[in-house]
Amino acid sequence: MTLLIGALTIGLILSLLALGVFISFRVFEFPDITADGSITLGAAVAAVLLVHHVHPVVATLAAACAGGIAGTLTGVIHTRFGINKLLSGILVMTALYSTNLHVMGKSNVPLLDVRSLATLAEGALTSVTGAGTTLYIVDWNVAVRDAATLVASFVAAVLVGIALYLFFRTNLGTAMQASGDNPQMIRALGVNVENMIVLGLAVSNALIALSGALLAQYQGFADVQMGIGMVVWGLASIIIGEALVGVRQLGFIIAGAVMGSVLFRLLVAIALRAGLDPNDLKLVTAVFVFCALILPGFLKRLTGPRPASR
Amino acid sequence: MLTVNAIRRTFNPGTPNEVRALQGVTLTIPTASFVVVIGTNGSGKSTLLNALAGTFLVDEGRIIIDGTDVTRWPEHRRASLIGRVFQNPFSGTAPNMTIAENLVLAARRGQPRGLGWALKRTARQEMRDRISRLRLGLEDRLDNAIGSLSGGQRQALTLLMASWLRPTLLLLDEHTAALDPRSADHVIRLSEEIISRDKLTALMVTHSMQQASNLGDRLIMMHRGAILHDFTGAEKRRLRPPDLLARFESVRRAELLDESAAEMLRRAYA
C-alpha cells in the first residue's frame, strides 16, 4: 500500500515535469535538455531555502523562478545567438550542474527536520481528521504524512494543469501555440516568435523546477544527481498520456500528461517490485521511449499504404 | 500609400552564389490601388513582396508605408500594417489549431497579446458571418482543425485572416499557384471582392497571364530585379494575355541577344 501511494505521489509530482516537457517538446518541438538541470536546480534552491527556515511556499516559488531563469537562458542562447536547440539546452544543463553544487554547497542536502510543504500538508490533514500518525482508510493503515503528500500532490498537479490549460486559452497562449505550430504564419500576424520561444522555455523550466522542489520536499532531500534522465521520463509520460487519451485536444493532452506520468510511475513501481534491477531503470525507460516513438510509423507501414503527405 | 525608393538586395554577396535579387526598385502605389506584378522566374517579384513584408532587410533604399518609414522594422512589427497570403497554402494557417483559433489570432494582427481570454463567445457570431462570405460552408466547422481543410479552403481562410483587420497593404504572393483551377478561380474571385469592398491597397504576384490582364488597375512587369514595364489606366485595361506574352518573348530575345553578343565579343578578344 505504501508502495502504491508512493508511486502515485511521485507520479503526480513528476506530472509537473511532464507538463513542462510538453511545452518544450510538443508545443515548440524543442528538445530541451535543460530540464535535467532545472529539476535539480528547483530541488536545490528549495532545499537550501528550507534549511534556512524560509517559508515552504516562498521556497517553492523561488525554486520555480530559478527554473524560469534557466529556461530563459536556454531560449536566449538559441534565439539571440543562433545556437542549435539541442546544444543550447546541453550548455545550460552543463552549467547548471556546477551551479547546483554551488547552491547546495555539497552534493546532497537532507531535509529531515525542517518545515516543508510535506510537513505543512501533514499538519493540515491531522487537524482536519484529528487522527494520530496513521489513518485507517477502508482496510488499510496509512501514514498521515503519506496521505497528506498524496492529496497535496494531487491538488498541485490539478491546479497547474488547469492554469496551463487556461493560459493556452488566452491571447498570449494561443499565440505561443501558433508560434510552435507555424512560425511563418504567426510572424506575419505580428508575433515575435523568438520572444515566444524564450517565454515558453521559461514557463516550461519553471514547471520542471517546481516539480523538482516538490520532489525534494517529498523524498526529504535534494541531490545533485537527481536530474539525470528526467527529460526522457517526462517524454515517456507524455507519450503514455497521448496513447491514453488519443485525442489531440489541448485539455485532453494536458490531462493525459498527468495521467501518463502517474501510470508511468506505477509501471516503474511494479517493475521494481517484480525484480527489475534499479540500475536498469533508465536503460529500460530509454528503450521504452524509443519504441513508443517509432511504433506509430511502424504500425502504419504494416497496416497499409502510406497516406499521401499533407 | 506605399513608397519604395531605390531598394537593393543582394543575397550571398561575394560568393559564387551571389544573387542580385533587387537592383534598385522604385515604386509609388497610391492608396486603394490594386497592382499586379508579373515577371520571369528569378525576376525578383516574390523578393520584392518579401522585402516589403520584412522577411529580410534591404541593403539600400527606403520603404515607406502611409508616411511611416518601415525600412528597418522587423517582419513581426510590419505586420501591424501588412496582411499577407503566401504561395504555399500550408504557410498561412496553424494546422493543429482550429479555424476559430486561427481567426482569433488574425483578429489581433499587430496588436499586443496579453492574458485576455482569446475565444470570446460573442466573437463567434462575427466569425460565422465573415467566414460564410467565403461561400465554402466553413461557418459550421469553426472548431475543426485547419489540418482537415483542403489547400483552397486554407488559402481562402488565409485571405480572410490577412484582411480581418483592414491592412494598410495587402500582399498576395502567387497565392493561387498551388491550387487546382476551380479553387484558384474561387480564391481569385474572393480576393477581388475583398480588395474592392474594403478599398485595399494591394500587390499581387502572379504567373497567370489571364489574371494579370483581368485583375487590378495597374500592372508591373519585373525582370532581373528591376521594373521593366509599368502599365496603368487605359493602357493596363487594353492589355491582353497575348500582349503580355509578346512582352515576355521580347525580353527573352533581348536576353539571347545579350548572351550571343557577349559570346561574340569573348571570341573576338580572347
Q: What percent of chain B has pLDDT over 90?
A: 69
A187 touches chain B (CB under 8 A): yes
Degrees to nearest 5, angle at CA A193 with A191 and A195: 100
| Distance (Å) from the alpha carbon of B145 to chain A's nearest alpha carbon | 10
- Please enumerate in sequence order all residues whose Cβ is within 8 A of that of A84, keeping only pairs 6 or more positions apart, or say none: A78
pLDDT digits 0-9 by tens, B140-151: 999 999 999 999
Read out DSSP for B134-178? T-SSGGG-TTSBGGGS-HHHHHHHHHHHHTSS--SEEEEESTTTT
A131 confidence band (pLDDT: 50, 70, 90): low
pLDDT for residue A211: 97
A173 touches chain B (CB under 8 A): yes
Half-sphere exposure of B238 (CA within 13 A, CB side): 5
Is B208 inside a domain boundary?
Answer: yes
Average pLDDT over residues A186-194: 95
Same domain, B180 and B233: yes
Is B34 inside a domain boundary?
Answer: yes
Of the ranges A146-150, B78-82, B143-147, B228-232, which is most confident? B78-82
Is B73 inside a domain boundary?
Answer: yes
Same domain, B85 and B19: yes
pLDDT digits 0-9 by tens, A242-252: 888 877 788 99
- Of B12, B27, B84, B86, the C-alpha closest to B61 is B27
pLDDT for residue A310: 44
Backbone dihedral angles phi then psi of residue B222, each to the nearest 5 degrees: -105, 150
Residue corresponding to grid cell 521494481 = A272
Is B26 inside a domain boundary?
Answer: yes
Degrees to nearest 5, angle at CA A279 with A277 and A281: 80
B→A contacts (Cβ < 8 Å), by residue, are 53, 74-77, 79-80, 82, 84, 86, 90-97, 101-102, 104-106, 108-111, 113-119, 145, 147, 161-162
Q: What length does chain B have?
A: 270
Same domain, B265 and B246: yes
Domains with residue ranges and CATH for chain A? 2-303 (1.10.3470)
pLDDT for residue B86: 95
Q: Which of B76, B96, B115 sits opposite A191 (nearest CB)?
A: B76
Count of domains forming chain B: 2
pLDDT at B78 over 60: yes
B41 confidence band (pLDDT: 50, 70, 90): confident
pLDDT digits 0-9 by tens, B88-129: 999 999 999 999 999 999 999 999 898 989 888 888 899 999
Q: What length does chain A have?
A: 310
Average pLDDT over residues A113-120: 87
Q: How far apart are CA A24 and CA A179, in angstroms?
A: 12
Q: How far apart are CA B106 and CA B92, in angstroms?
A: 10
Same domain, B58 and B17: yes
Cβ atoms of A188 and A27 within 8 Å: the answer is no
pLDDT for residue B51: 96
Same domain, B52 and B75: yes
Q: How many CB pairs under 8 A join A and B?
A: 95
Same domain, B173 and B226: yes
Same domain, B216 and B257: no
A172·B114 Cβ contact <8 A? yes
Is B57 inside a domain boundary?
Answer: yes
Same domain, B172 and B182: yes
Chain B environment of A185 (Cβ under 8 Å): 91-94
pLDDT digits 0-9 by tens, B163-195: 999 999 999 999 999 999 999 999 999 999 999
pLDDT for residue A119: 86
Is B150 inside a domain boundary?
Answer: no
Containing structural domain, residue B78? 2-96+166-238
SS3 of A75-103: the string is HHHHHHHCCCHHHHHHHHHHHHHHHHHHH
A153 confidence band (pLDDT: 50, 70, 90): very high
| CATH number, domain with residue B46 | 3.40.50.300
pLDDT for residue B174: 93
Same domain, B87 and B172: yes
pLDDT digits 0-9 by tens, A12-30: 999 999 999 999 999 999 9
- Please enumerate in sequence order all residues whose Cβ is within 8 A of that of B2, keeping only pairs 6 or more positions apart, or say none: B27, B28, B29, B52, B63, B64, B65, B66, B169, B201, B203
Same domain, B246 and B170: no
pLDDT at B261 over 80: no
Is B13 inside a domain boundary?
Answer: yes
| Distance (Å) from the alpha carbon of A180 to chain B's nearest alpha carbon | 9
Q: How far apart are CA A179 and CA A29, in angstroms?
A: 11
Same domain, B44 and B28: yes
pLDDT for residue A305: 57
A280 touches chain B (CB under 8 A): no
Is B118 inside a domain boundary?
Answer: no
- Of B110, B29, B24, B12, the C-alpha closest to B64 is B29
pLDDT digits 0-9 by tens, A248-283: 788 999 999 999 999 999 988 888 888 888 888 888
Q: Where are the alpha helices (DSSP H) in chain B?
A: 45-53, 75-78, 99-106, 121-132, 151-162, 181-197, 209-214, 233-238, 241-269
Same domain, B91 and B20: yes
pLDDT at A296 over 80: no
Looking at chain A, which residue has its C-alpha nearest residue B92? A185
